[in-house]
Amino acid sequence: MKKEEIPQDDGALGRIAKEVTYVVGEDGKYETAQSSGWNVKTEALNVRGTRSKEK
């Protein structure tokens, strides 16, 4: 993903921390960038947490 495409949704850690993600820079090489979160990942973690509580 390109740096300008990094999701900046509300993450599981809220405003406490940012996630480090790998992106493709303008020169085509990988570099790191920060994301505040991604809704898809947050929902997946919430589903997993719900299932583990059911056991």
pLDDT digits (tens, 9 = 90+) for 3-46: 888 888 877 666 788 889 999 999 999 999 998 888 888 888 88
Residues 6+ apart with CB under 8 A from 27: none
Both ends of the chain: CA-CA distance in Å? Answer: 37
pTM summary value: 0.58
Domain count, the chain: 1
Half-sphere exposure of 48 (CA within 13 A, CB side): 6
13 neighbors 37 (Cβ within 8 angstroms): yes
Q: Which residue range forms the structural domain that includes residue 30?
A: 3-54
